[in-house]
């Protein structure tokens, strides 16, 4: 099993994850229940393995993956919990967004108990393409709105200072 703690090699990823995790605090994507009783949103882990099943269901989509410990060769089943299909479809996901047999690296929040289970934050496929939750797109749109707002704010004093003709 390869299990990476956030460290120097993952600093940039960790920063991105932190921003996404902050989004979790205000964007209730957890559908039918809060994630906080199960997952520690302040921590992230990264697990690499082969997808064995992706269930595109409500209230939460689930993915099973086989994770091989490179030292012992032992295979451990990991379970990744996502927002629900209702939510993921809004972001353009389908039942084929994750396919069995794919080698993936998944970033997620660990459980409080340290079990082989995580709440999805980001997935990177072997070809480098990524899957992110819809809230990442939402945050990007909000940042653009904030830039426009700041621009308007900067222009307002100049307009007010312009003497009337």
- 126 touches another protein (CB under 8 A): no
What is the Cα–Cα distance from 128 to 83, expressed in whole angstroms?
22
- 60 touches another protein (CB under 8 A): yes
| H or E element, residue 142 | helix 134-161
Q: In this complex, which beta carbon is closest to another protein, that of residue 48 or of residue 119?
A: 119
- 142 touches another protein (CB under 8 A): yes
Contact pick of 27, 52, 68, 97 for another protein (by CB under 8 A):
27
Contact pick of 8, 26, 157, 165 for another protein (by CB under 8 A):
26
Q: How far is the CB of 9 from another protein (least distance, A)?
A: 24
Point out which span in 6-14, 66-74, 99-107, 109-117 binds another protein (CB under 8 A): 109-117
Quote the tokens at residue 57: 């269901």
CA distance readout (Å), 94 to 39, 66, 84, 87, 90: 25, 22, 11, 11, 10
Q: How far is the CB of 34 from another protein (least distance, A)?
A: 4
Whether the upstream peptide bond of residue 35 has omega within 30° of 0, thus cis, is no
Point out which span in 44-52, 69-77, 79-87, 118-126 binds another protein (CB under 8 A): 79-87
Dihedral angle over CA of 51, 62, 36, 90, nearest 10:
110
Number of Cβ within a 10 Å radius of residue 7:
8
- 68 touches another protein (CB under 8 A): no
| H or E element, residue 13 | helix 11-26
Provide the binding-site residues for another protein, judged by CB under 8 A.
Answer: 19, 22-29, 31-34, 36-38, 55, 57-60, 62, 84-87, 89-90, 111-113, 115, 117, 137-139, 141-143, 145-146, 149-150, 153
């Amino acid at each position: 099993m390869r299990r990476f703690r956030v460290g120097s090699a993952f600093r940039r990823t960790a920063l991105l994850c932190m921003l996404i995790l902050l989004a979790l605090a205000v964007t209730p994507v957890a559908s039918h229940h809060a994630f906080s009783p199960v997952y520690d949103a302040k921590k992230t882990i990264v697990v690499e393995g082969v997808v064995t099943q992706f269930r595109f269901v409500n209230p939460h989509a689930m993915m099973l993956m086989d994770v091989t410990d490179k030292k012992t060769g032992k295979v451990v089943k990991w379970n990744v919990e996502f927002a629900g299909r209702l939510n993921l479809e809004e972001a353009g996901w389908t039942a084929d967004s994750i396919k069995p047999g794919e080698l993936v690296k998944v970033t997620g929040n660990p459980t409080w108990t340290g079990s082989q289970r995580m709440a999805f934050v980001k997935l990177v496929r072997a070809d480098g393409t990524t899957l992110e939750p819809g809230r990442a797109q939402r945050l990007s749109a909000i940042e653009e709105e904030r830039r426009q707002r700041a621009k308007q704010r900067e222009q307002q004093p100049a307009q007010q200072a312009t003497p009337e003709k």
